[in-house]
Structure 1
Amino acid sequence: MKITCIGGVGTVTGSKTLVESNGIRILIDCGQFQGLKPLRELNWKPLPILPSTIDFVLLTHGHLDHCGWLPRLINQGFDGKIYCTSPTADVAKLILLDSAKIQEEDAKLANEKKYSKHEIAEPLYTVAQAEKVFPHFRVINPNDIIDLDAEIEAVFTNAGHILGACTVELRLENKVLVFSGDIGRDNDVLMFPPIKPKKADYVFLESTYGDRLHPETDPKLELEMYINNAIHNGGTIIIPSFAVERVQSVMYMIWKLKEEKRIPNIPYIVDTPMGISMLGLFTANKKWHRLPEHEFIAMCKMFTLISDYQETIDTIYNKQPKLVIAASGMVTGGRVLSYLERYIQLPETTVIIVGYQGEGTRGRELLEGAKEVKIHGKYYQVNAKVIEIEGLSAHGDQKDLLNWLSDLEEKPKNVFLVHGEDEPAEVLQLKIQEKYGFECIIPKMGQVFEL
């Protein structure tokens, strides 16, 4: 059996792991690279094997860094089945269409304003190409055994994190391989805790927060303080947020604060069409989250939900203090950029970062104290207050990741640490070796392992 780490190693984006066994090729996730330019450029390069020779894709969840390269895969010849849960299929459809639309718009804008280095800027894929992914989805139920081949089985188990997210257990050649996907938190506001594996010969574990413990502070209290301070100063609060799960988590906490009369009566706005669509998925997938229906309905009523872009423009130029939640979460695209173009230069503005910021993203630049940021080819001075609330992340921290390994009945032959930058992976490697004595490997991009 051969494992090739095509992506999602040394970085938190571009997740792709190829498993080859007895002539069958299985791709675990097919994510898009984000962040640093050298990483983004990998999206334009071909895979080390022909996509037409891949038999199956097993999709852990619907985030762009796990599903965002599927249109390219299919455009280049993949004609197999993509197995995932029902919510993952729905989330992936929303995310792929949104991604394609943004790329088409960005390419059009770059061509009109001529700020692309290319003679003609092209999208990575189009909306039409994204739509060609959907017929390949095969929806499965968690804990069911899926027969991929006469001697290959797959089982999906709940990983928390976002709606439909799962860990994938692959049984083949008398071995059990467990691919964690993204592990949620044991005490998440909306999601149930992840299910821990019992058996594994080899584990492929994400390490996003391998070097970090989420603070013990109450994120709701932090939100209360920052919102009240900003409004007292006559400013607007902008919360860049991932449309899937994070928007809904932030909405829930803000709604609770408003119910408890701890924050003022100002406009509370959600401006992300995909985030609004996700609210419908929460209604349709009640068994995947712990939010009571009556609270969910009340929460949605409190917010002004914006889909039409003219409403976005009107909201941007309304000088009244307000709170806006808008995608994208790493400030790499989406409507949040339009708000930042207007508000990032105003000292009374508060930008609250509520999720992981990949290397090379605008969100990471802002967190690291950038004095200016480039948006749509133009530089803007950063005079706004930029703060981070770590406790709102949907990723498990070091403690959660270590705990996820605690139910293994026997020592695995190896734990491969993937989906993490080098330093977090190295710290987690030491912690796993100290706590469990497991052999840990940190793969390199393109590295091949024979098991």
Structure 2
Amino acid sequence: MDTTISLQFLGAAGTVTGSKFLLKTQGKTILIDCGMFQGIKELRLLNWENPPFNPQEIDLVLLTHAHLDHTGSLPKLVQLGFRGEVWGTDPTLDIAEIILRDTGKIQEEEAKQANENGYSKHHPALAFYTLKEVDKTIRQFRMKPLDHWITITDNLKCQFRYNGHLLGATFIELEVNGKRIVFSGDIGRTQDWLLHAPHRPTQADVLLLESTYGDKLHPNEDTKARLKEVVTHTLSKNGSLFIPSFAVERAQALMYLLWQLKKENELPNIPIILDTPMGADVLKVFYQSLSWHKLSAEETLQMCQDFRIVTSYRETWEIIDQRKPKIVIAGSGMVTGGRILTYLSKYLEDASTSILLAGYQAEGTRGRDLEEGAKELKIFGKIYQVNAEVFSLEGLSGHADQKELLDWLSDLETPPRHLFLTHGEPDALAGLQQKIKVQLGWESHIPTLLEQVDIQL
């Protein structure tokens, strides 16, 4: 029986963003993830290019999880004519809706602001997609269960497997005539504050493996103690602490740690604020998805009671005007947009301010610039001096490190016949490729953007 597949790497090839893989087999054309490119301008410009395929010919989109670099181009795909279904787990599609609506709103607002203030090179500045296009996209969502084979055709089926990393996140297995194709998605940590350990594949004839931290081991630091240390230092300056955060899972993990410190009387009685509308909406999904994480319903509610959860932009400005010490968690995690920019435009030049980076900072983002010691940042078309102190909290990373990636492979009964390393920057990809070769004796391939491979299994 013919088992031929064609794979094209349309994103997350040589970079960590824009995850998008085109699979053709058994007369079906399937897109696994449909992410937005983030980071350096060269990558962001790719979002505006028409895809090297006809969106009307895509039969199905499968989502590993809801992050923007895995879902952010869905409205564009629909705008260009895609009319098929989008499959994912319940939390993935709930959170994807939240993320896409939030991002669409931000893009509309930023385009309007750029046009009013004249700081865009484009006339007029346009949103990548609008809320109206998001509404169309969500109508094509179809929720699918975990650990259940779903028939696509007589000889093609798929299933979603728990993967940690993010509420709802999965790796995806497709079976074609008994041959197994595995898309790793983003793999979570073995030990996570909120999420369970990732499940592992047992069979993979073809495997696409993420490599975000492929050349690194996460530091063995006491994350809660480190967070307390940064808070205490900031308060000693009579300053405020701002934590740019991904609204999904990372914000909730930070909330959990601060809540624990407060319960243990390790924090003074100062305002602790969650200012990300998206993060607040995700808290509702946490409450509705108790089997996906470690918190009980009661713990989730108790945690929220210790926070001021901001609901309006007017409230953001009220908080900005209150110059007393405070802790603010605000989106976005890489300082590329969202409420954190408003705070930093007013606090970045104040030496009593602290900024705590709590996750991966992609190349070309303001977060990476801060991480690397930038002396100034451009926000809303204006240059601000970085007088604030900048700290990092690596223990909250939602991505498996090199050791955890190798552990994730350890249940495979036989080596993959074809192993592709994706979703990593060049050093991470090369580091993981070398480690896999030395430790496991497996060959692997690092695909380039738009590369296409045809495989006979």
Q: TM-score normalized by structure 1?
A: 0.99
* Corresponding position of 1:408: 412
What SS does the corresponding residue of 2:139 show, helix, strand or coil? helix
Q: Does 1:187 align with 2:191?
A: yes
In the TM superposition, 1:312-331 aligns within 5 A as 312-331=316-335
- Pick aligned residue for 2:120 from 96, 116, 120: 116
Deviations 1:178-207, CA, capped at 9 Å, x for gaps:
000000000011011110000000110110
Paired with 1:294 and 1:223, the residues of 2 have a C-alpha distance of 24
Paired-residue identity, %: 49
Show CA shifts across 1:367-414 (max 9, x none): 000000000100100000001010011111111111000000011112
Q: Among 156, 163, 181, which residue is 1:159 paired with?
A: 163
Partner of 1:427: 431
- Correspondence for 1:309 among 292, 303, 313: 313
Match of 2:286 in 1: 282
Unaligned runs of 5+ in 1: none
Local SS of the residue matching 2:56: helix
Q: How much has 1:166 moved relative to structure 2?
A: 0.4
How is 1:136-155 mapped onto 2 (pairs within 5 angstroms)?
A: 136-155=140-159
Measure, in 1, the Cα distance between the counterparts of 2:324 and 2:405.
Answer: 43
For 2:387, the aligned partner's letter is N
The corresponding residue for 1:214 is: 218
SS in 2 for 1:415: strand
Deviation at 1:50, TM superposition (A): 0.5
**Could you tell me which amino acid in structure 2 is paired with residue 258 of structure 1?**
K
Distance, in Å, in 1 between the alignment partners of 2:13 and 2:225 is 35
**Which residue identity does 1:179 align to in structure 2?**
F
Secondary structure of the equivalent of 2:97? helix
Any conservation in 2 of the 1:52–1:78 contact (CA below 8 Å)? yes
**Which residue of structure 2 lines up, in the alignment, with residue 83 of structure 1?**
87
Pairing partner for 2:138 from 131, 134, 137? 134
1:375-390 alignment, distance < 5 Å = 375-390=379-394
Report the AA paired with residue 169 of structure 1.
E
Aligned equivalents of 1:218 and 1:9: distance in 2? 33
Counterpart selection for 1:399 from 396, 403, 417: 403
Amino acid at match of 1:221: A
Q: Which amino acid aligns with 2:92?
A: T
Separation in 2 of the partners of 1:215 and 1:61?
26
* Cα-to-partner distance string for 1:39-78 (whole Å, 9 max, x where unaligned): 0100000111100011010000010000000000011011
Render the CA deviation track for 1:106-126: whole Å, top value 9, x for unaligned. Answer: 100000000000110000000
Partner of 1:18: 22
Determine which of 215, 229, 233 is the counterpart of 2:233.
229
Assess if the C-alpha contact under 8 Å between 1:241 and 1:355 holds in 2: yes
2:340 alignment counterpart:
336
- Give a deviation string over 1:74-105, Cα, whole Å, max 9, x none: 11011111110011010000000011001000
Whole-Å separation in 1 of the counterparts to 2:228 and 2:452: 49
C-alpha distance in 1 between matches for 2:359 and 2:403:
18
Q: 1:131 Cα deviation (Å)? A: 1.0
Q: Give CA-to-partner distance per residue, 1:9-42, whole Å, 9 cap, x none.
A: 1111110000011321010000001111010100
One-letter code aligned to 2:432? L
Q: Is the 8 A contact 1:29 1:58 kept in 2?
A: yes
Distance 1:89 1:258 in 2: 33
The Cα shift of 1:318 comes to: 0.6
Letter of the 1:306 counterpart? V
Aligned equivalents of 2:342 and 2:444: distance in 1? Answer: 44
Task: Confirm whether residue 74 of structure 1 aligns to residue 78 of structure 2.
Answer: yes
Q: Is the 8 A contact 1:242 1:328 kept in 2?
A: yes
Matched-pair contact (CA < 8 Å) for 1:414–1:438: no
Q: CA shift at 1:212, angstroms?
A: 1.1
Residue of structure 2 aligned with 1:104, choices 105, 108, 115:
108
Q: What's the offset of the Cα at 1:173? A: 4.3
The answer to whether the 8 A contact 1:238-1:352 is kept is yes
Aligned: 1:31 with 2:35:
yes
Unaligned runs of 5+ in 2: none
Q: Give me the whole-angstrom Cα distance separating, in 2, the residues matched to 1:89 and 1:8.
A: 21
User: Within the alignment, does 1:356 sit opposite 2:342 as a pair?
Assistant: no
Show structure 1 runs of 4+ deviating over 2 A. Answer: 292-295
Alignment of 1:28-67 (within 5 A): 28-67=32-71
SS at 2:294 equivalent: coil
Is 1:269 the counterpart of 2:276? The answer is: no
Residues in 2 aligned to 1:62 and 1:22: alpha-carbon distance in whole angstroms: 27
Matching of residues 239-254 of structure 1 within 5 Å: 239-254=243-258
Cα shift at 1:298: 1.5
Structure 2 residue identity aligned to 1:8: A
2 CA distance for matches of 1:109 and 1:14?
A: 26
Aligned partner of 1:368 in structure 2 is 372
Q: CA deviation at 1:213?
A: 0.8
Query: In the TM superposition, what is the alpha-carbon distance from 1:148 to its structure 2 partner?
Result: 1.1
SS class of match (1:183): coil
Query: Structure 1 CA distance, aligned partners of 2:271 and 2:26?
Result: 59
Contact 1:206 1:419 in 2 (8 A): yes
CA distance, structure 1, for counterparts of residue 321 and residue 195 of structure 2: 36
Write the distance in 2 (CA, Å) between the matches of 1:43 and 1:288. Answer: 32
Whichever residue aligns with residue 388 of structure 1, its letter is S
CA contact (8 A) 1:203 1:412 kept: yes
Deviation, 1:271, is: 0.4
Distance in 2 (CA, whole Å) between partners of 1:409 and 1:300 is 44
What is the alpha-carbon distance in structure 2 between the residues aligned to residue 281 and residue 49 of structure 1? 34
Q: Distance in 1 between matches of 2:154 and 2:81?
A: 24
1:436 and 1:8 mapped to 2: Cα distance? 24
In structure 2, distance between residues paired with 1:37 and 1:44: 11
Q: CA RMSD in A?
A: 0.8
Q: What is the CA–CA distance in structure 2 between the aligned matches of 1:156 and 1:141, rounded to whole Å? A: 7
